[in-house]
Chains A and B, each alone.
Chain A
């Protein structure tokens, strides 16, 4: 597999007034994200997740080190458009990323900016709306949609640019459980069926269970990195980093401490139930 995004000892500090200290928000991040993977990034508030995400499509450029997107160095200004065409971003608040008054016109915004021919835009709009299951709402006003629907429109707007990678920065944070499920299922499908690389930043541990790889950030560094079964079961380490393991893992860990013979790597409720049944049956 090719490398979609590569960061090489990436450091970054936000611009400050002259004379003031400039604390590094990112302090040497080395990551290689493979094309087609589904990566979840976790970390407590202020650990630098959003800052890292913004480096992935040249919304921010490194103050030290390098970020390569599909081989393009994001620090070069003439690469900006190529980088953004490859990596789409979905943000937390859908209201602040929808540009147009009609769903289809909003989805068309990206391709329009890229200078895609009209008929091709129409095709992409149709397909993207289908991909997120919003084709019936093409002519609706976005502000009348539910949160989950708005966020799916925002995702459609990104996939209409036919990116290789989608970064979602807490895009499910403002949604209720059903809205969250809508969005998650949508990106999982895109990842599976279209091979789009997905980078999902979240505070919901349960969302991490679906990833190929989980990265935990802590004060500007990568603290943990590995498959979910490996990361999410380290209850104590996660707690040190300001995170709580998923409820299923916590339950099994408590049972284990009480002497039950269960293993921790049950990330879904079904797996957890299986483990407990097996332990009871034994």
Chain B
């Protein structure tokens, strides 16, 4: 169950998508989201699907793992779909109790579910093809101008990359503690919601304690390796826009413009 959490996972590779500058990919995701939310009808959705399919093909990330990333949000997807399906005002096709299926509802449900699915797949595609350190480097660089306002951008990005670094470790640890508790007769799978929540307490307490201990040790280890904040730090990988970055950014702009144009014509 815990293995399904794919957030922040990274599949090393050497495709074009992997080689793009993280800032480019962040900007592309923003453009992609803007375009996705501006799409109004089949043509523009079709265009977005093509764009996503193209990106997946270029990145050589297995579609299976992208689909797996959807699992945790399955409930949200179903919920959105059902609400839109039965509670959208319009031409009624079928009616029973409080459920009112409308033509508009079907349309909206399809579009909404598609939109969320594609949103998640698109963002996951970015995290799958970008090492978290590069991702946070990219964020730090994009948000760099905010440092002038004395916002702790370096610290935030460092925190984020460490959090991402420790996700797999903590998941592993949770699994271990769970097995340990199960071996002593703990039951996480049956009983009412309340009982199950109660069963989680002996899981969370050791997890938190160990996380704090880890944080403490990590802080010492970082200091021992001369970490003293962002000042005077250099980088192994300096971010530099290349030809493909400009090309990719240009293509993203074209897609956004195209979706805007289609929206004009209600397509």
Contact = CB atoms under 8 A, between A and B. Distances in A.
A, B assembled together: yes
Interface of A: 57, 59, 81, 84-85, 88-89, 91, 93, 95-102, 104-105, 108-118, 121-122, 125, 139-141, 143, 157-158, 161
Interface string B153-186: 0000000011011001100100000000000000
The 4 closest A-B pairs by CB, nearest first: A108-B236, A97-B221, A96-B217, A113-B226
B225 A158 contact: yes
Nearest to A139: B12
Given A109-B227, A143-B169, A158-B225, A117 B217 contact: no
Interface of B: 10, 12, 131-133, 161-162, 164-165, 168-169, 172, 214, 217-218, 220-228, 232-238
Nearest to B221: A97
A96 B218 contact: yes
Nearest to B224: A89
A5 to B, nearest CB: 15
13 contacts: A88-B224, A88-B225, A89-B221, A99-B221, A101-B10, A101-B164, A105-B131, A113-B227, A113-B228, A113-B233, A114-B226, A125-B236, A158-B225
B165 A161 contact: no
A46 to B, nearest CB: 18
Given A102-B12, A104-B236, A59 B165 contact: no
B233 A98 contact: no
B225 A110 contact: yes
A5 B225 CA distance: 18
B226 A81 contact: yes
B160 to A, nearest CB: 12
Most A CB contacts (10 A, CB to CB) among B12, B223, B226, B238 go to B226
A85 B10 CA distance: 32
Given A99-B218, A108-B236, 18 more contacts: A88-B224, A89-B221, A95-B169, A95-B214, A96-B221, A97-B221, A100-B133, A101-B132, A102-B133, A105-B236, A110-B226, A111-B236, A113-B226, A114-B226, A117-B234, A121-B236, A141-B168, A161-B226
Most A CB contacts (10 A, CB to CB) among B133, B224, B236 go to B236
A60 to B, nearest CB: 10
Given A95-B214, A118-B234, A118-B238, A105 B225 contact: no
A117 B236 CA distance: 8
Contacts of A85: 226
A139 B237 CA distance: 13
Contacts of B237: 105, 118
Contacts, number: 99
B168 A143 contact: yes
A203 B232 CA distance: 39
B195 to A, nearest CB: 33
Contacts of A113: 225-228, 233
B132 A112 contact: no
A136 to B, nearest CB: 13
Contacts of B10: 101, 141
B180 to A, nearest CB: 17
Contacts of A122: 236
Most B CB contacts (10 A, CB to CB) among A96, A104, A109, A122 go to A96
Nearest to B220: A59
A121 B234 CA distance: 9
A125 B221 CA distance: 18
Contacts of A88: 224-225
A243 B90 CA distance: 84
Nearest to A160: B225
A91 B221 contact: yes
Given A59-B220, A101-B133, A108-B236, A96 B225 contact: no
Contact of B214 (A96, A111, A125, A143): A96
A141 B207 CA distance: 23
B133 A105 contact: yes
Nearest to A89: B224
B233 A115 contact: yes
Contacts of A140: 12
Contacts of A84: 223-226
A100 B165 contact: yes
A100 B237 CA distance: 13
A99 B236 contact: no
Nearest to B131: A102
Contacts of B235: 108, 112, 118, 121
Contact of A99 (B12, B222, B238): B222
B236 A118 contact: yes
Contacts of B224: 57, 59, 84, 88-89
B233 A99 contact: no
A229 B39 CA distance: 79
A93 B217 contact: yes
Contacts of B221: 89, 91, 96-97, 99
B7 to A, nearest CB: 13
Contacts of A116: 234
